[in-house]
Each structure stands twice: as C-alpha cells, then as structure tokens.
Chains A and B, each alone.
Chain A
C-alpha cells in the first residue's frame, strides 16, 4: 500500500512539473506578451523595456521557468520583498502574490466541489438504490425519466432560473455568497446552497442511472443469490453484498469525473458571480497574466491528482482484489 502511494505521489509530482512546463511554454510561445498589452496601443520602446525589466521578462525563458519552478519549492525574492515557500510568483496585473490570491479564493471552489459532490452522491446513489430495489415500479420509472431530463440541463441555464425563482421574485433566499466554514458553518451552507444544489443537479442524474444499473447487475450475481438462499436477510444482503459491489464502477467513474467536477465548480462560480478559481482563470487569461495562469493551472491539476490518489485508495478499500495486486 505504502509503495503504491509513493509511486503515485512521484508520478503526480512529475505530471505537475510537466503541466507547469506545458503551460509556461505555451504561454510564452504566444507572440503577444503581457508587457505590450499593459503598455497599450501607443507604446514607446523605452516604456515597454521598463515594463519588461520590472517583470523579469528580459531574462532567458528557461531562466524564467527555472526561477518559477524553484520558487514553488524554496520561495523567491522580489524587489518588493520575500515570497515564502509555495511561491507561485507575483501577478503581472495586480502585483499581488499569486499564492496568497489563490489561497484566498480556493476555499470557495473547494467548498462548491465537495458540497455538490456530497449532494449528488447522496441523492444520486439513494435514488439509484430505490430504483433498483423497486425495479419496474412507478417510482423507478419516474426517477429514471427525471434523471434523463435533468441531466440535459446546464448549470448556466438552471442557475439563473434558480436565482430568479428563489431570490429575485420570491425573496426566499439571499444572493449566493461565500462565508468561510470556519467562521460560520450555517452561513456557509445557506450562502452556497443554491450553487451547490444547481451544480449537483447536473451530476445527480448520471449517478442515479449508474448506481441503478450497477446494483441491478450486482443483485443478479451468484454470490448474492447464494447469500439469500442460505437465509440471510434481504436487507443484509442488499447492503453488505450487492451495494458494496455496486460501488466499484461508481468510484471508477467518480475518479474519471474529478476534472469535470472542478470544471463544474468553475461554471457554477461564473454563473453565480462567485469569486473563485474559475474567475481567477478568466482574469489571468484576459490579462495575459502568466504567473496567475500558471498558479491556477498548477493548483487545479494538483487538486485533481490528489483526489485521484484518494479515489484509488478508496478503490482498494472497497475492492479486495485491487488490494492484493
């Protein structure tokens, strides 16, 4: 197990480095740079040179990249002061330290992702379980149909509808806002409830369908029938044998979905005008702000890789066959 975790961690670090390199060089390779954008249309050569000098854009590209990457591990010194260890550089546009900005915005994206994931896993797996248990019933048909329709909705369509209904016209709720969970857990939940539910709606349907079909498959397995035949209770067999087995494909899909989950959080943020990582990515892109974009990409990739490793560990926990190999 330990060896597996170490191997995965090393792989993740290498991947992160490569993603950083790809982002950096693709950005630098683009013929327009931040300096000329900041300088504007009527830009004198000396002014342009000053900006380039100030941002360190005059250094060789490899040197710039090296400085950036070593900065993450060891910190960097800027004319304005020292930037401590996980230093993702300094935003060209605002001059703020990127790591501080991301640390400020990231909890929102994380809250959205985890909150929505909890909602859709509970609702999706629950509905799927009921559907599988009462296969062919009215409940099953209604759930399957509803999940089909709901999965065709989009966050950017459903979001404004939810706002129009619950906030603008009825006034039942306030505009979504982010309150740190450490400060006020209730405010956190209430403030983000609409975005979380809207985001979860899009994913719920998929998990309902999947858990239903997976459970039906499991219930037809020989070991489930044997367990029933030797007199175990329906409930015990359902949860201890069938349900657990049905989780394997779901965890697999969840692992694949992680990146779209983060993407979903980004769309949700933009839909509800919340200031998270997605907004930062847009800002970085629009302003040609290389350090900010690098930071956002690396943190996003880091999150996906970390959660992937966690999913793999969960996988080993659910399925003993994986543990052995």
Chain B
C-alpha cells in the first residue's frame, strides 16, 4: 500500500520502488501539497508578491521612477513631459497609462502608481508579516498555558479572551490608533513613520491574538488527555518538557493553517486603517492609502485604483487558496 493516502494513484513503477520506503508526516504533507496544483501555483504567486515587495527599491531604480516625486507638480518634470491636465487629472487613457508610467499616475500630484504600489506593498506585506508573527506567538503562549494547566488559569485566561473578543474591533482600531500614537509623540508634532508602524503593531496586537489563543487552547485541551502525554507525565517529565516535546509538535499544523488565514486578514486590516485615515499617512506609500485616494477621486478618475485593487484581489485570492491547500495537505480528513 502506498503511503500517500489520498489523491490520484502514483504511476505503477514509482509505486514499486517506493513500496517499503518510510516517510515522516512532514514528507507526506509536502507530497500532498505538491499534488495540489492550485496550491502550488498560489504559493508561487504569494512568494512572488513578497519578493517583488522586498525588491521594490531595486525595481523602482531600474524602472526609473520614485514614489515620492510629484511628476504632475514638479516643474522639472512637468515642463518636458506633462502628465496631468489643468484639473489635476491624468492625461491620456485609463488613468494616464503610458510607457513612462505603466500603471498611470495619481490625480492631483502626478505620482507614479506603479512605484507607489510597489512601495505600498512593501509597507503592507512586511508590516503584516511582523504583526501576524507577534499575534501568533501571543496566541500560542496564552492558548498553551490555558489549555495545558486548565483549572483556574484556564478560566481566567478564557474570561480575558472573551473580554477582548467583545470589543467592537474595527471601531477600537480607528479610535485607538491616534491615542496609541500619542504615547510616542506629541500629537502637534509630525509623527515619524516608524512610530506609526509601531502604533499599528500595538493596536492590532491588542485585539488580534484571541482567535489563535482559542484554537491552540482547544487543541491542547484534547491533546492533554491523550495517552502519550499521560505516559510522559508518568515517566516524570516536567510540564515544560511535555509542552515542548509532546504537545507543541501536535499543534503545529493547526497553527500553520491559521497563520495562512491570518496573514491576508492582517494585511486587509492594515489597509483598512490607512483607508480610514488613521494608519499610514502622506507621503508614505501604502496599499490601503491608495484606496482612500481612489475613493476620493472615483468620480473623476476611477482607473486610479484599478491596479492596486486588482493586485490586492489576486493576492488575497491566492493566499486564501494557499490556506485551503495547506489545510488539505496538513489534515487530509478535513474535506472542503
């Protein structure tokens, strides 16, 4: 019998050769994942986004534009190559798409949409990666502690989790971004971008860890009663060792699956903050802020947000499909 559980049968001769080959669960997952064509394509697309975002300065250099230069206002550029008309709207078709500006230009300022999007993606993706990692760590620690120790600890942590869950999340994000920013800088002064980033991190972290904590807790709760944990306890293992060696390896897959769902939703939350005007502000290029501009100019120049929007839809779609593929690979029993 082949070790691979589901999917199409392997070609016959391969099957023969691998008959008695042992495979670790990790290898099995990897094999199952590679079988899922949609998942693999999406993994490449998502990876591509991260690479493009990381290389934003290099690409912008090669492409020869800068996201901060106002091509529509700077006399140095407007003289020889005007991109905006008298009303501040892009000249040409579809938001000013041309050989110089592949994705068009921003109305009013005339900044280059392509480089804005590149830098915006960089801001959003890496910000989200940091936030999600932090959320995950917090959730895992709280879930592990609650689930493993049970009793009063669990009850207390459970109530804290419930409490945080009953906050109106989006309202809280909007209301507390300026407050948290004020912890670092006097509101009358210009806030440096990295303080804003830090404030976003704190606000999202405060209200974001509960889902992960609940998931880890319920998984740990069922694991705790299993025989192998009991055996370890009887053998005299310390709680820390049991958590590390017996329980953690078994919660890795649900955590990984949750991570792939959490990351795109974090990106969207950061985008939402900038869209609401409390996240990143001018002139920091940010994905979400492009939608705020886009909504403002939708009547005159609806093409402006076409490229950022389509890029976001493709990214989120691929990330969700990737999440499904990871889930199917890690847990073949959970059908769609």
Contact = CB atoms under 8 A, between A and B. Distances in A.
Interface class of chain A by DSSP: helix
Given A19-B167, A31-B182, A148 B299 contact: no
A301 B298 contact: no
Given A262-B170, A297-B171, A301-B168, A160 B302 contact: yes
Interface in B51-70: none
Contact of B278 (A169, A271, A282): A282
Given A156-B272, A259-B168, A148 B321 contact: yes
B169 A259 contact: yes
Nearest to B206: A26
A15 B179 contact: no
Interface residues of A, number: 54
A271 B272 CA distance: 10
Given A15-B163, A157-B305, A266 B171 contact: yes
Contact of B174 (A153, A259, A285): A285
B295 A160 contact: yes
Given A270-B276, A304-B166, A153 B171 contact: no
Nearest to A169: B302
Interface in A143-194: 148-149, 151-154, 156-157, 159-161, 163-164, 168-169
Contacts of A54: none
Given A262-B168, A305-B166, A267 B275 contact: yes
Interface-central residue, B176, B183, B292, B316, by most chain A CB under 10 Å: B176
Nearest to B317: A152
Interface string A205-217: 0000000010000
Nearest to B179: A30
B278 A157 contact: no
A142 interface: no
B169 to A, nearest CB: 5
A15 B167 CA distance: 9
Given A161-B302, A168-B298, A285-B177, A278 B188 contact: no
A234 B84 CA distance: 64
Contacts of A304: 166, 168
B175 interface: yes
Nearest to B168: A300
A6 interface: no
Given A18-B163, A32-B186, A157-B309, A152 B316 contact: yes
A286 B278 contact: yes
B48 interface: no
Given A266-B174, A285-B278, A156 B295 contact: yes
B142 interface: no
Contact of A270 (B275, B302, B313): B275
B336 interface: yes
B188 A37 contact: yes
A128 interface: no
Contacts of A133: none
Contacts of A153: 313
B320 A19 contact: no
Given A27-B179, A152-B317, 7 more contacts: A152-B316, A153-B313, A169-B302, A259-B167, A259-B169, A267-B272, A304-B168
28 contacts: A19-B167, A31-B183, A37-B187, A40-B188, A41-B188, A152-B320, A154-B271, A154-B309, A157-B312, A159-B295, A161-B302, A164-B299, A168-B302, A259-B168, A262-B168, A262-B171, A266-B174, A278-B171, A281-B175, A282-B174, A282-B276, A284-B175, A285-B174, A286-B178, A288-B187, A293-B175, A297-B171, A300-B171
